[in-house]
Structures are given as C-alpha cells and as structure tokens.
Copies of this chain bind each other. A is one copy, B any other.
Amino acid sequence: MPGLPKQKVTIIGSGNWGSSIARVCAQNTIRHPELFEREVRMWVFEEQIDGKNLTDIINEKHENVKYLPGINLGENVVAVPDVQEAAKGANVLVFVLPHQFVYKVCESLRGVTDKDCRAISLIKGLDYKNNNLLIFSEEIEKILGIHCAALSGANIASEVAEEQFGETTIACRDPKDGEIFYRLFHTDYFDVNVIGDWRGLQVCGALKNVVALGAGICDGLHYGNNTKSAVIRRGLLEMRKFGKTFFGGVHTETYFESCGVADLITTCAGGRNRKVAAAFIKSGKSIEEIEKEMLNGQKLQGTTTSQEVYHFLSARNMTQEFPLMTAIYRVIYEHAPPESIALDLRTRNVKVDME
C-alpha cells in the first residue's frame, strides 16, 4: 500500500474472542512489517488475579490467563489498562467487546482517535433503541466520525486460538480498507473473504443466535433431523427476509458467506444459545434460572435479540411474516407450546414457485 503510514493496531477488548483475534493480528503485524507496526496494543479492563494486575500478567506471560488460558498471544501483544492510552495514535481499531459496553467505550474515545483511523467491529448483535434496530459498525462510525468495517463468521474463539482451520467474512464500504483488514486478519488457518455488505453481515451475526434457540427447542423436544434442518433453513430464509426488508441493500450472496450459512450451522450445532434453549424445554425452568445455572449469571445474546426482534416486528404489525422468529419468542417468553416451533411453519395452500 504505497503512501500509507505504518499502521498501528489496537484491539478494544480482551475477552475470549478479543484475545484470540489479538493473537491473529499480532502474527500478521509481524508477517507484514511493510504495512503494520509490530506492536499490537490490547485494551484490557483491569482486574486482579491472585493479587496481580491482569495487564501485568499478560505482558509478562503473553497469556490472558483469565479468558484464554494456555494460549501464547505473542510477545508483541501489549495489554494496556487505559482505553484512551490504548487507542491513542492507532490507525486501526478492532472493537471486540460485549455489546452493552460499546457506547460507553466509544464515547470515551471521542476526540482521541485520528480522523484517518479506521475501525472494524467484531461485536455480535444489533442495538435496540427507540424501537429501532441499529447496526453497531454504523453506530461506531457516527460516534467517532471514522469508517467502520465489520467481521463475522463461523469462528469459535478457542478453535481460532488453536489454529484450527476456519473462515471468516469481513464487510466494508471501501475496497482499500478491505485490503488492509485482509492482511491484518488472514492467515493460513483463518481464511478471510471481503465483501461489501456490512449490514447483511451484521444482521446474520445477530439473528443466527435467535435461530439457534429454535434449534435448541427442537433438541429439547427430541425432534429429529428433518425438523431441525427445516427450522434452520426457515431461520436462514427469515434472516435474509429481515435483512432485505429492514436494511435495504442486503445481498443474497452474503448468506452464502461464512458470516451467513456457516456461522448459522456452527451456532445451531454447538453454541450456548442452543444448549440453554434445550435445557429450558427439558427442565421447565425459566431462561433466567438456566442462565444462572449454566452461564454463571451471564446473559444469552439470542434471548435478548429474540425479544428485540419480536418487539420490532410487533410495532410494524409484521410478526406473521416471520413465523419462526415469532414462534421462538412466544415459546420462550409467552408460554406458547414448544411444538409451535415446527407447527407454525406449516404452509396451508399450494405454493408453486416456478421462478
């Protein structure tokens, strides 16, 4: 990239996924010294582990002992406890933190980031505000006044950290940004494809968690493969329809990417949304109780998104057009019979679609 200054990379976030992705970036800043500064800064929310600062442990052992134990992040990952200090002078900001912290952290970076800085969001979910669903990369753009791309794919963090082969999708407006992000994230084991549809990518990342609840409900009912794959397929169709109906230029091709069908398959096969929904059906307990038991009090992404999607559709009188999303919400929050997850998908009239 002639004319481009050496890019300084900062990771905003240091959980399981943040640490895995910091490791990928740190390998690539070494691999492409013409493009990147070697050092990758990582903002770490400071906490004490056995009386020591987590940042100090990371900087000594090159390991995030709390969120990604047993994995060497690379000596060029530098943990920084102050988010402004971490972001100062950065040319690339990688946002990878729970969605409830996005606004606060972004606000604290207002005025700190350079104007020619570029960002990429690895945040899952959509933001629900004033009965609207907002795309996080666009929210970051608004707050910081910089371009923000997005990355999403069938990426279980621990598998990426173990260098098991996988794929991901990056979406951005500007092909030049796409090339920089490709070089920052692509490795032999982490295969990157760059597309233009940042909205479709983020719609997929949010709604697949709702579909995974549906897959979990099927498992809880001991339904077979035919039913479960019907639910997953209808989920894919509703994800696409949702994107096209409410987010304009969303492309069908996006749903063939890793962020689309592949992430959906992975999330519906494993994933905690599926597991909690299955336990919800089998146990008769509330989602909150099961979250406490299975997730150590953490909240599921899919249930929140399910509620938001339902309220969003209700406000537009469109629940009937998304029967699976609606059935999932009603099973979980309105005591609808769990069997409705499949029964509500039944068509009643001849539908001959000869294209």
Q: Which chain A residues in 330-355 approach chain B with CB under 8 Å? A: 342-343, 345-347, 350-355
- Other-chain residue from B193, B269, B346, B354 in contact with A347 (beta carbon distance below 8 A): B193
Tell me if A88 counts as interface (CB < 8 A to partner B).
Answer: no
- Other-chain residue from B226, B237, B354 in contact with A195 (beta carbon distance below 8 A): B354
Decide: A159 near B225, CB < 8 A? Known: A154-B233, A232-B265: yes
Residues of B within 8 A of A353 (CB): 193-196
Are A154 and B262 in contact, with the CB atoms below 8 A? no
* A and B contact pairs by CB, cutoff 8 A, 15 listed: A159-B224, A160-B226, A164-B226, A165-B343, A166-B229, A178-B354, A179-B350, A188-B346, A194-B351, A195-B354, A225-B266, A229-B269, A233-B258, A233-B265, A261-B261
Decide: A232 near B159, CB < 8 A? Known: A194-B352, A342-B165, A346-B191: no
Are A154 and B352 in contact, with the CB atoms below 8 A? no
Residues of B within 8 A of A228 (CB): 266
Q: Which chain A residues in 119-167 approach chain B with CB under 8 Å? A: 154-156, 159-160, 162, 164-167
Chain A, residues 224-253, CB within 8 Å of chain B (1/0): the string is 111111101100110010000000000111
Give, as a whole number of angstroms, the nearest-CB distance from A241 to chain B.
11
Tell me if A270 counts as interface (CB < 8 A to partner B).
Answer: yes
Tell me if A308 counts as interface (CB < 8 A to partner B).
Answer: no
Instruction: State A50–B202 Cα separation when bound (angstroms).
Output: 61
Are B265 and A265 in contact, with the CB atoms below 8 A? yes
Instruction: State A188–B348 Cα separation when bound (angstroms).
Output: 8
Are B355 and A165 in contact, with the CB atoms below 8 A? no
Instruction: State A347–B185 Cα separation when bound (angstroms).
Output: 13
Decide: A263 near B229, CB < 8 A? Known: A156-B224, A159-B224, A224-B164: yes
Q: Which 8 A-B pairs have the closest CB atoms?
A: A166-B226, A196-B354, A165-B342, A233-B262, A159-B224, A154-B229, A229-B262, A194-B352
Tell me if A197 counts as interface (CB < 8 A to partner B).
Answer: yes
Give, as a whole number of angstroms, the nearest-CB distance from A270 to chain B.
5
**Which residue of chain B has its CB nearest to the CB of A223?**
B164
**Which residue of chain B has its CB nearest to the CB of A251?**
B355
Are B182 and A262 in contact, with the CB atoms below 8 A? no
Tell me if A183 counts as interface (CB < 8 A to partner B).
Answer: yes
Are B269 and A256 in contact, with the CB atoms below 8 A? no
- Other-chain residue from B154, B236, B346 in contact with A225 (beta carbon distance below 8 A): B154
**Which residue of chain B has its CB nearest to the CB of A222?**
B164
Tell me if A175 counts as interface (CB < 8 A to partner B).
Answer: yes
**Which residue of chain B has its CB nearest to the CB of A249?**
B355
Give, as a whole number of angstroms, the nearest-CB distance from A240 to chain B.
8
